[in-house]
Amino acid sequence: MKFANPGAQIFVPDGAEPDAALQRSTHLAIGAHPDDIPIMAFDGIGRCFGKSDSWFLGITVTDGAGSPRSGPFSDHSDAEMRAVRIAEEKKAATIGEYSAAVLLDYPSSAVKDGRHDSVVNELAALINGARPEVVYTHNLADKHDTHVAVALRTLAAIRRLPNNTRPAAVYGCEVWRDLDWMLDADKVVFDVSDHQSLAQALIAVYDSQIRGGKRYDLAAAGRRLAHATFSESHQVDTAKASTYAMDLTPLTADSGDVATYVSDHIWRLEEDVSDRIDRLS
């Protein structure tokens, strides 16, 4: 397919043809930045790792040029950071045995502009070409504008597809706001206990972020352990690591209102807190 940005590309670690790499994909993650995917969508990476009948596809929407930087990367220009982050993404795709990594190379400003329709068009074409069973993207209560914008563009892209070609499940995952606040009945829980060495190796690839001043490697592992331990107060741990997601599948229907859907989750938390205080007072 032709991309809108000249720097956009499809990287296929095992050398398969790009169309074939898309078509064999069963699990798809659509992330804003190069390091978001192994943080939020490790459930999909782990399910596909080492398998011949399940394949993970990662789509990174932005170029990552505006990331914070310090230490050895403090003097890097935006163009130099972009090149570093592209190389890191390809390395992660190789280590994680992705079917392919798609780098769309948009500036964040374009993704956050709801009138910039080419983002939605490209995502719709890629999703239609892959026909994945499961899609992971950002959760709609994330506090990072670009993350929420990517989730909105992903839902818009899926809604453009015929009903019979839409993914069976779409999940909004954690990066910049975790989902511990959601009621247990509402949240999707992924047990990501397996392949812990792989999980660490994937995040460690993003050296420009870690040595650049953001310890995502420690933070992601800590959050997963915390979820596994604090998920249930009256039972022993059943998982060593867990991640949470918001089920966005109902929003793939054309009539689903996004803001109301998220507000209803927040309202249920408010009601739960108020009811517990009233009951115990």
The domain total for the chain is 1
Under the banding of pLDDT at 50, 70 and 90, the label for residue 237 is confident
What is the reported pLDDT for 212?
A: 72
Query: Does residue 3 sit within a domain?
Result: no
At residue 73, the pLDDT reads 62
Residue 1 lies in a domain: no
**What average pLDDT does this structure show over 161-173?**
96
Residue 153 lies in a domain: yes
Summarised one tens digit per residue, pLDDT across range 7-65 is 999 999 999 999 999 999 999 999 999 899 999 999 999 999 999 999 999 999 998 76
* The predicted structure's pLDDT at residue 115: 85
Q: Is 165 exposed, middle or buried (0-12, 13-18, 19+ CB in 10 A)?
A: exposed
Which of helix, strand or coil describes residue 145?
helix
Q: What is the mean pLDDT of residues 143-165?
A: 96
In a domain, 72, yes or no: yes
Quote the pLDDT of residue 243. Answer: 97
Domain membership of residue 246 as a residue range: 9-280
Per residue in 246-267, pLDDT tens? 999 999 987 789 999 999 999 9
Asked if residue 260 belongs to a domain, the reply is yes
Q: Is residue 4 part of a domain?
A: no
Which residues, 6 or more positions from 140, have their beta carbon under 8 angstroms from its beta carbon? Answer: 148, 151, 152, 172, 246, 248, 258, 261, 262
Q: Is residue 219 part of a domain?
A: yes
More confidently predicted of 239 and 64:
239
Q: Where are the beta strands (DSSP E) in the chain?
A: 9-11, 27-31, 56-62, 100-106, 134-138, 169-173, 187-191, 242-247
CATH number at residue 219: 3.40.50.10320
> For 65-109, what is each residue's pLDDT tens digit?
666 656 666 666 777 888 888 999 999 999 999 999 999 999 999
Among 52-56, 127-131, 199-203, 250-254, name the one with the lowest average pLDDT. 250-254
pLDDT tens, position by position, 14-28:
999 999 999 999 999
By the 8 A CB rule, do 171 and 135 touch? yes
In a domain, 241, yes or no: yes
Task: Write the Ramachandran bin of 231: left for phi over 0, alpha for psi from -120 to 50, otherwise beta.
Answer: alpha
pLDDT at 114: 87
